[in-house]
Each structure stands twice: as structure tokens, then as C-alpha cells.
Amino acid sequence: MKDSITPSSDAIIIGAGPAGLTAAYELLKQTGIHPVVLEATDAIGGISQTLEYKGNRMDIGGHRFFSKNKEVMAWWHKMMPIQGKPAFDDILLHRTNKAFEPGGPDPQTADRVMLYRQRVSRIFFLRKFFDYPISLKPDTFTNMGLLRTIKAGMGYLASQVHKHPENSLENFYINRFGKTLYQLFFEGYTEKVWGVHPSNLGADWGSQRVKGVSISAVIKDMFTRTFSLKRDPEEVETSLIGQFLYPKYGPGQLWEIVADEILTASGEIHKESEVKKIRIENNRVVSVSYQREGQLMQQPCSYLLSSMPLKDLVESIEGIAVPEEIKQIASALPYRDFITVGLLIRKLKIKNRTKINTFQNRVPDTWIYIQERDVKIGRLQVFNNWSPYLVKEYETTMWIGLEYFCTEGDEMWEMDREEFIRMAIDELVKIDIIDKEDVLDATQAKIKKAYPSYFGSYYELDKVRDFLDQIENLYCIGRNGQHRYNNMDHSMLTAMEAVKNIKEGKTSKENIWAVNTEEDYHESKKNG
């Protein structure tokens, strides 16, 4: 039976991240339904927020704006127009608006623009740089050494003759790169990220995040680039893209713009409003109770679109009996948490050995994967290279982010803030990336449930999904809302599909869950 949509209908949206804000915006534009967004924190954008510290901006996790989905690309362009297409070094060498478009952009919109960025991400291993994805350049083999190179070649050939059953992430990687390359470039880093050995992780993560990346894909991409052949963007794996878009002041800038659009169109966004209870009657959500400014408030609704962790969603349900099995599966769903240390420094010790011209010969990387096993750091972001406007004193300082993956309550998570910052600085000194005397300032940020994990009760997630899908007006969207390690564009697409279902009175939610699993939604990216 088709729901009756009226201008007075309310939709509660849990979470002001990409999925939640996209849902609120699309509901206003397509249906006239009044959205009420409830955000537990005081920030807009979820993990896609931009933190500010003394005039320096920090991108949590790093967000490249690129999608194979044309609807998402058009959506971003509508929110933030693209200003020109300058060379990478032009943006880095000149912090003026004229660097983005001949003659300069409209002064009224000079700050509300997307920048073209050149993708440079490398692996730091054996105190040397390797391309990511692994390339077949002479430097790769030189850095690996003769013996490792021979073993890698033999391992790859063996992987093409004998395929392992893809019942683990370890086997997924071995089938595409061979055992030696897997052990060198994937095993240790993956264990840092997830806290679990790849042999105990499901292949699902690889199929969603790096599904199209392999030695054969690297060879094809290298051949295409070498001979300047035209490439169909829809056929290029995201990990192999050469350029991407990026908001001038970080990803949070875009989501703050979206939030302003929602408020201007009479939508509601309530920060520091933590959902406590979700009331179900006659198989429908009828109200949501949330805590705000110390008071418990209740909001009736016609629809509920939830991007809150499934673990918390199931726990908050009342009014119907939740089977014990569903409770147990949901409560045991694993997550990985995230700590970033922002360091303001004079300079990096590592130098630019690439052919890219950069300011003061700084390295051109947006982020660097730290594969060294004698340190805990997983990735290093260089915010100067995402956008020079993220750095208050771009010409004289570098602003970097040291990323650590942990689990809430573990040793790293519980470590004293100042002690953690000292540890992070010492690690970069240890692997010869900085000198301690060049550190000018530091801060720390923690993000809970940043990454849904693919082990444990995850493999019984379908039972939780089937139970929740029976609640007619409940739609699970976004990364945590589906317990799926989606990229930003995929999270947006789940929201768009949910809104289409509401608009069309569609009862099946299969299309929402199909995002990033069906061929139409395929995309790959190592991270965030």
C-alpha cells in the first residue's frame, strides 16, 4: 500500500553525515517531506567533517571526491562548482584565487569551489617510497632488491596457476598479487587497520574496496598511460585515477553547505541530540526519543532513515519483541576506531624525488601508507597537498595528520592524550620522516566506530537486516547504517535510493542494500 505523502509528514534522519544530509536534502527537493536530522555530536559531516585547530584544517581519513556514479558527481558539482583546471603545481605554488581560473573566479563564490587535485599516494616501506597501487616501474624493483623481486615474480606466476578459495581477505590478495607481494605490501598494513590478521577477515572487504585492483589492472593502466590512450572513466578503477576533486576548505565545507541548504529550505538539524529509543507500533516507527541539553525529548515521525550503527539501532528499539539472536548478533558487530594526531611542523625530512614540481620541493603525496612494522602509525596525511587552504601558514609550515587504527577501550584508545602525541612524534622520528625539533604544535582527534569490520558476527548480518526490513518505514543508510565499509558516494547513494522508495511508495529495500554490491554501483578504493 502506497504511503500518503503530505507537506506535514515528518522524516527523522539519524546522523548528519553524508548519508543523513543527502537524505534530508533529497526529501526536501523531491517530496516536500519535512526532515528532522538528529546528530549525536556537535559536528556536521560525520567522518567526512573537517576539524579546525588554530586556523589549520584537518580532514579525518582523507576524502577524494570522485565517483563512477554520474548522479553523485552532478550533485557535488551543484553544491560546489569547479573553478578551472589548473596544473597541480600551480595550486601548490600560488595561494591566490587566480590559481584556479584564468582571470580569477567570482569573488562572491571564490571560497565555495572544488579544486582539481592530482592523485599521489605512495607506500613507505623499507624506509623507501613505492607507488600505490604497486607499479612495475624500475624504481619498484630497485627498492625491493633482486631477491624480493624474483620471489615476487614467482609468487605472482604461482597465483595465476593455482587460485585459492576466496574465503578470506588473505586469499583475495594472494590471488591478485601473489604471496610475496601480499606479504610485503598488504599483510602488515591490513592487520594495522583491522587489528585482525587478513586470514581471519572476510574477502567481502576486498571485493568492495579493491575489487578491480590487481597486477593485470596495473599493467593495463600503465600501458594506457604510457601510450596516452583514451580511457573511459567508468572503466578506470578508482585506486588508479589520476585526478579527483576536493573542496577548497576540506570535505566538511561541502557538508556544511548542504546543511545550510537544508536549514534554508525549513529542514531541521539538531546537534548533540543522541537517540535513545525508537518506538515501533504496528510494524512501523511512530516516534524517536532523544536526549538533548540534558532533557529526553520525543519526536513523532512518518519515516525513519537511520545511519546510526546497527549495534545501537537494534538496542534502541522498543514496542516490539526483538529476538534474542538478533540482539546478540547486533551487539557483537565489530568496529574499528580511529585516532588522528595533527602535527604542525617546519618541514619533512623526506624529499620530493618525483617529477612533480612542488613548493620548496616538498613531497607531493596527499597521504602515505606507512607499511613499516616497527611503528604503529598506519597512514600519514599531508594536508598542504589536499588543499593549500587547509594550512594557515602554508609557505612556512607543513600540517600533517598521523592516523592510527584502534578499538575503543584498547591500549591506544585509553592512552593519555599528551603521551599519545609524544609516541606519534617519536614514531615519525624513528622512521626518518621528521626531526623532533621541527615540531611546532600538535593536537589529537578521536572518532568512534569509524570503520565497520568484516569478521565475527558480521557473517550473520543478513539476519539483522531481514528483521529490520520488516519495519515498513525504517530505512538503513550509510556506512554504519548498513555496517558496510562504503565510500562517501556509496553512502550518498543509499540515501538517494531510500528517498526514491519513499517517493514511489516502494516497499522492498533491496535496492538500498544493493548499493556497492551490484554491478551498477561498483567502484573501488583503498580508503575513504
Tell me the pLDDT tens digit for each residue of 420-468. Answer: 999 999 999 999 999 999 999 999 999 999 999 988 999 999 999 999 9
Q: Cell triple for residue 517?
A: 554490491
Residue 42's contacts (CB-CB under 8 Å, 6 or more residues apart) are 271, 272
Say what the pLDDT of residue 208 is: 58
Residue 4's contacts (CB-CB under 8 Å, 6 or more residues apart) are none
Contact (CB, 8 A) for 343 and 400? yes
Say what the pLDDT of residue 215 is: 52
Distance CA 284, CA 293 (A): 28
Residue appearing with cell numbers 572503466: 235
Distances (CA, A) of 343 to 337, 340, 397: 20, 10, 10
Q: Cell triple for residue 89?
A: 603545481
Say what the pLDDT of residue 219 is: 46
Judged on CB neighbours under 10 Å (0-12, 13-18, 19+), 230 is exposed
Strands (E), 21-144: 34-38, 50-53, 56-59, 114-118, 121-125, 128-131
Distance CA 34, CA 123 (A): 46
**Cα–Cα–Cα angle for 162, 168, 173, nearest 5°?**
55
Judged on CB neighbours under 10 Å (0-12, 13-18, 19+), 506 is middle
The alpha carbon dihedral of 243, 245, 248, 251 has a sign of negative
Q: Is 360 in a helix, a strand, or coil?
A: helix
Please name every residue paired with 279 in a beta bridge, in sequence order, or none if there are none. 287, 318
Q: Is 315 in a helix, a strand, or coil?
A: helix
Distances (CA, A) of 329 to 238, 305, 463: 33, 21, 8
Say what the pLDDT of residue 61 is: 84
Distance CA 187, CA 173 (A): 9
CB atoms within 10 A of CB 382: 22
Residue appearing with cell numbers 623507501: 128
Strand order in the sheet with 268-270: 268-270, 34-38, 10-14, 303-306, 474-476
Say what the pLDDT of residue 266 is: 95
pLDDT in tens, the chain (528 residues): 444 444 346 999 999 999 999 999 999 999 989 999 999 999 999 999 999 999 999 999 889 999 889 999 999 999 998 765 544 334 433 343 333 333 334 444 578 888 888 888 899 999 999 988 777 778 888 888 888 888 888 988 898 888 999 888 999 999 888 999 888 888 998 999 999 999 998 887 666 555 555 555 544 444 444 444 444 544 444 444 668 899 999 999 999 999 999 999 999 999 999 999 999 999 999 999 999 999 999 999 999 999 999 999 999 999 999 999 999 999 999 999 999 999 999 999 999 988 888 888 999 999 999 999 999 999 999 999 999 999 999 999 999 999 999 999 999 999 999 999 999 999 999 999 999 999 999 999 999 999 999 889 999 999 999 999 999 999 999 999 999 988 999 999 999 999 999 999 999 999 999 998 754 433 333 334
Distance CA 421, CA 415 (A): 10
Say what the pLDDT of residue 1 is: 41
- Residue 127 amino acid letter: R
Contact (CB, 8 A) for 152 and 180? yes
Of the candidates 309, 366, 340, 305, the one whose C-alpha atom is nearest the C-alpha of residue 65 is: 366
Say what the pLDDT of residue 407 is: 95
Contact (CB, 8 A) for 314 and 330? yes
Alpha-helix residue ranges (DSSP H) falling in 31-87? 70-79
Distance CA 452, CA 455 (A): 9
Say what the pLDDT of residue 222 is: 45
Please name every residue paired with 338 in a beta bridge, in sequence order, or none if there are none. 405, 447
- Mutual angle of helices 146-161 and 169-177, in 10-degree steps: 110
Of the candidates 310, 308, 307, the one whose C-alpha atom is nearest the C-alpha of residue 326 is: 310
